Amino acid sequence: MQKKNKSKFSFIKVIGICLILILLSGVGVMAVTTKVNTVTIELSNGYEMTVLTSKTNVKEILEDNNIILESNEKVIPSTTEEITESKTIKITDKSEQEIEVAKISESGIEMTLENLLDAYTTITEKIEVVEETIPFETVTKDISGGSTNTKNKVLQQGVEGKKKVTYKVKYQNEAEIERTKISEEIIQEPVDKIIQVSSKTTSSRSSSSSRSSSTSSKTSGSTSGTSSVKVYKVTAYCACTKCCGAHANGYTASGTRATAGRTVAAPSNLAFGTKLNINGKTYVVEDRGGAIKGNRIDIYVSSHSQALAWGVKYLPVEVQN
């Protein structure tokens, strides 16, 4: 009986050892068949980390390492893909275009990625230089004295000016969406049109003849030489930096010292030394100016306050030869 029990115990012991060996061999097979990969994860801030994982899905690898993507980040390969042969997962910031596409997609509009990208076209900028006209102004000089019976006379024809303007222009889908002026340069100043309004007068033949003979007498009796009268746009300036900029030294372009009541700046068609009769006073052309062109004349005064008080006047100017 004892031998029988002993034999039974030995049999059970053999079976137990066999089971243990089978379990150990199974674990060994699993350890051999499960492949462990070394994967490099590059974060968007430039930091790199190396992890050991038996998984190949990008999303699962990120989750195992507690890495959560921000809304402005993307991962290569995508979270639905498997790791590539390089065994590298790279996290980068999304471009502005991809963020815009994501916003449109989240709004519930059903569009393909290709259509979304086509709808979001890159904006291009160009610098354009164009020549534009400066419209002239019409100035009316009323010398009718309140009379209702008037007539108009054009003393000076208006001429448009020119300027060169630089723009920054934005285009999208070849269509202009924004235009910003950067700078402008005046090429030619406009010339104002001047109209004189005077009262109509009726006169007898004898009075007309009298005026004619009187005029003839004045002309024949003149000994000061010939002269011409033209309406000019007359302004004022002084020797301060606001009026003359870097050339504010008190001296004129002709080399004389600027003197109030005598010096004027005039266009180049009036030579230095030319005498001008303005409002009954005689001035001498001694200076020039960048803005003094066409029908412009600048009278020199003693102070900037006097220049501001003068303002802009349209006056007949007699050029004495």
Query: Rounded to whole angstroms, how far apart are CA atoms 41 and 60?
Result: 13
Lowest-confidence range among 22-36, 43-57, 66-80, 189-203?
22-36
In the predicted structure, residue 33 carries a pLDDT above the cut 70: no
Query: Rounded to whole angstroms, how far apart are CA atoms 142 and 197?
Result: 5
Q: What is the mean pLDDT of the chain?
A: 79
Lowest-confidence range among 6-15, 16-25, 168-177, 214-223?
214-223
pLDDT bucket at 109, cuts 50 / 70 / 90: low
pLDDT tens digits for 68-100?
888 888 898 888 999 888 889 999 887 655 555
- Mean pLDDT (whole number) for 231-251: 87
More confident residue, 112 or 131: 131
Domains, the chain, with CATH or none: 37-119 (3.10.20), 124-193 (2.20.230.10), 224-320 (2.40.40.10)
Query: Residue 128's pLDDT is what?
Result: 92
Query: Residue 207's pLDDT is what?
Result: 41
Threshold 0.75, pTM exceeds: no
Peptide bond into 316 cis (omega under 30): no
Nearest to 134, CA basis, from 75, 186, 88: 186
pLDDT tens digits for 169-214?
988 877 888 899 999 999 998 888 888 888 776 544 444 444 444 3
In the predicted structure, residue 261 carries a pLDDT above the cut 70: yes
- Position 154, amino acid: V
- Mean pLDDT (whole number) for 240-244: 86
Query: Residue 265's pLDDT is what?
Result: 95
Instruction: Determine contact, residues 306/315, Cβ cutoff 8 Å.
Output: no
Q: Where are the beta strands (DSSP E) in the chain?
A: 37-42, 48-53, 73-76, 88-93, 124-134, 138-142, 150-156, 161-172, 175-188, 193-199, 227-237, 263-265, 275-278, 281-287, 296-300, 313-320
CA count, 13 A, side-chain hemisphere, 125: 5
More confident residue, 301 or 242: 301
* % of the chain with per-residue pLDDT over 90: 25
